[in-house]
A and B are shown apart, each in its own frame.
Chain A
Amino acid sequence: MVEGDPDVKPIVGLEIHVELHTATKMFCRCPNRFGDPPNSNVCPVCLGMPGVLPVMNRKALELGIKVGLALNCSAGGFSKWDRKGYYYPDLPKNYQISQYDLPICRDGWIEVPLDDGAVKKVRIRRAHLEEDAGKNIHDHADHTGVDLNRAGVPLLEIVSEPDINSSHEAGAYARAMQRLVRWLGASQANMQMGHIRFEPNINLHIASAGKTYKTPIVEVKNLNSFKALEAAVAFEIGRQTEEWRADPEGFSLEKLSKQNRGWDDVRMATVFQREKEEAHDYRYFPEPDLAPVEVGETWLESIRSQVGELPLQRRERYIKEYGLAFKDADALTQDGPTGDLLDGAVKAGADPKRSVNLLLGRGAAIANERGCQIAEIGLAVEQLAELAKMLADQEINATAAAKVFDLMIAGRQNPRQIAMKQGLLAVTDAGQIEKWVDQAIADNPSAVQDVRQGGKKQKKAFGFLMGQVMQKSRGAAAARQVQDLLEKKLGGGQQ
């Protein structure tokens, strides 16, 4: 039993399975679609019938390479397929087509933004293509139901080096990966649909009394949410620390090597899994039914040209070029299309900050109500640009702009036409505004006095008079004009 506080360093590597966003499966042309009736998207190839010939999906190959390039991997070149043999009812061929020794992507890295604003670099060992298995349905007492719609759906397995040192970092890494694959259009990466799944490998390096101890590596299988991933890593760090304390010499990597554990979502704990003694005897061998692929420089460059600006680069640009706060820049770079809207509006001459206010104001509110990205609410670049310009030119005030925003995404109409039709355009007529201003001054002598005297009450009184004018105009007066005129009339303005 070890007392006191030894120096515990968690060592975590992560395998992430990502379902690629293709129209068809990896080796046959059955639809790759979630939620269809059981066994309706199957054919002799993905059912594992004898004598069939699988043919590789070009799009899946290119998406895999695209992700690899964005992860700074060496990608392409010569690559081949292998059979990984194991028996399970959701695997109709009794082998999975995967890549063993020549993966399509190797040796990369990703920059992971952490909560404290720091950026952590995590190395990528490899990313390879393989096919997904079907689904076992365990809701019957006496048998298991098998749906093979998912069998053969293209997967990219991304394997990190053990560079992750806490549950928070594991979560941040997984979120960065989700953002990246969505960004690239490589995967929808929807948790509920099982598009992205995590398998962390966890052990501890413990320095105590001048010695370094290594605990056995535990692989936690099939985690389906960020929450489960973070909780499983945190649980393992605690459990392994306790086990090591109880028996520092026995609970070691040398003596116990590697174990698999499952995750119990109800107890929020990892649980021991009985090891089938031959579980890891996969008997890989080259897949004879599939020709190897060779992705030359020209092809690789054409894929590279589709990668474009990555989320962290764009976030940095928004802070530097548009002067956005970190929080706003971050919110706008969760996906590609939302930032494309902003960039499009700015290119069309709109002010970045006014465009951002519209996107992160009503845009984010509507997206939140609908549970979608801002880019998916039906807003066009031209609409955003025009409304932002109207705001900048004082043709409309913020409250009216919010109303126009809601109306224009519903009907795809031009914001100026909507504002005119709804009577939401600001009144800019100098004569009309002067009338309202003069009336407000006449009606409120004590506020006028407070402003003229200066001092503590000045600011509040000025705001009150502004409010009176806006009220008289029923919110339609161009606010900047009202302010300028009030300042002029009350003598040199207030600071």
Chain B
Amino acid sequence: MPQKIDNELVRHIAKLGRIELADEQVGTFGRQLSAILDYVGKLQELNTDGIEPMAHAVELRNVLADDSPGESLKPDQALANAPQRDGDFFAVPKVIDDSQ
């Protein structure tokens, strides 16, 4: 049986997630991800004819909060884990695309 997740797809997913993979890791992850899909694929054997698609695993509805302010963090707390900061801004590598 051909592997469900081939090397090309692994590279595509890694790129979307901004994860750098070495060539040998591509093969490893492809095998692991395919094995996971095969395992979960067991569910496909169930007959689901006439069963409504489920939007959520929990039967809860309308979990809502009132629009009244609570407490926020102080900028120093918010930035405590940031690898780099510039004053009270998070500092990240230069973004070229400034469509925002």
Contacts and interface: CB of A to CB of B under 8 A. Distances in A.
B62 A43 contact: no
A294 B75 contact: no
B64 A57 contact: yes
A144 B92 contact: yes
A136 B98 contact: yes
A5 interface: no
Interface in A273-313: 273, 278, 281, 283, 286, 288, 290-294
A142 B99 contact: no
B65 A222 contact: no
A291 B67 contact: no
A133 B99 CA distance: 12
Given A42-B72, A55-B65, A278-B16, A136 B78 contact: no
Contacts of A288: 56-57
Contact of B68 (A23, A142, A148): A23
A207 B90 CA distance: 52
Interface in A192-239: 221-222
Given A40-B75, A144-B92, A273 B97 contact: yes
Interface residues of A, number: 60
B56 A148 contact: no
B21 interface: no
Contact of B94 (A42, A47, A142, A291): A142
B73 A44 contact: yes
Nearest to A292: B55
A137 B17 CA distance: 23
A88 B16 CA distance: 11
B78 A47 contact: yes
A401 interface: no
Contacts of A28: 70
Contacts of A147: 88-90
Contacts of A467: none
Contacts of A29: 65, 68-71
Interface of A is mostly: loop
Interface in B32-89: 55-58, 60-75, 78-79, 84, 86-89
A145 B72 contact: no
A291 B59 CA distance: 8
A366 interface: no
Contact of A87 (B16, B67, B68, B91): B16
Interface string A84-121: 01011110001000000010000000000000000000
A23 B67 contact: yes
Contact of B72 (A43, A56, A143, A283): A43
A135 B90 CA distance: 11
A39 B78 CA distance: 7
A291 B60 contact: yes
A160 interface: no
B87 A40 contact: no
Nearest to B18: A87
B91 A143 contact: yes
B4 interface: no
A182 interface: no
A135 B65 CA distance: 26
Interface stretch (A58-66, A339-347, A480-488): A58-66
A47 B72 CA distance: 11
Contacts of B70: 24, 28-30, 43
A154 B78 CA distance: 21
Contacts of A78: 55
A94 B66 CA distance: 26
A294 B62 contact: yes
A291 B58 contact: yes
Q: Quick one: which of B57, B71, B72 has the most chain A CB within 10 A?
A: B72
Nearest to A80: B55
Contacts of B92: 89, 143-146
A145 B58 contact: no
Given A29-B69, A292-B56, A38 B62 contact: no
A143 B96 CA distance: 10
Contacts of B64: 55-58, 61, 293
Nearest to A58: B64
A262 B99 contact: yes
18 contacts: A24-B68, A37-B88, A39-B75, A40-B75, A42-B72, A58-B67, A87-B18, A102-B55, A135-B100, A136-B95, A138-B98, A143-B93, A143-B94, A144-B95, A146-B91, A147-B90, A278-B15, A281-B16
Interface of A: 22-24, 28-31, 37-44, 47, 55-61, 78, 80, 85, 87-90, 94, 102, 133, 135-138, 140-148, 221-222, 262, 273, 278, 281, 283, 286, 288, 290-294
Interface of B: 12, 15-18, 55-58, 60-75, 78-79, 84, 86-95, 97-100
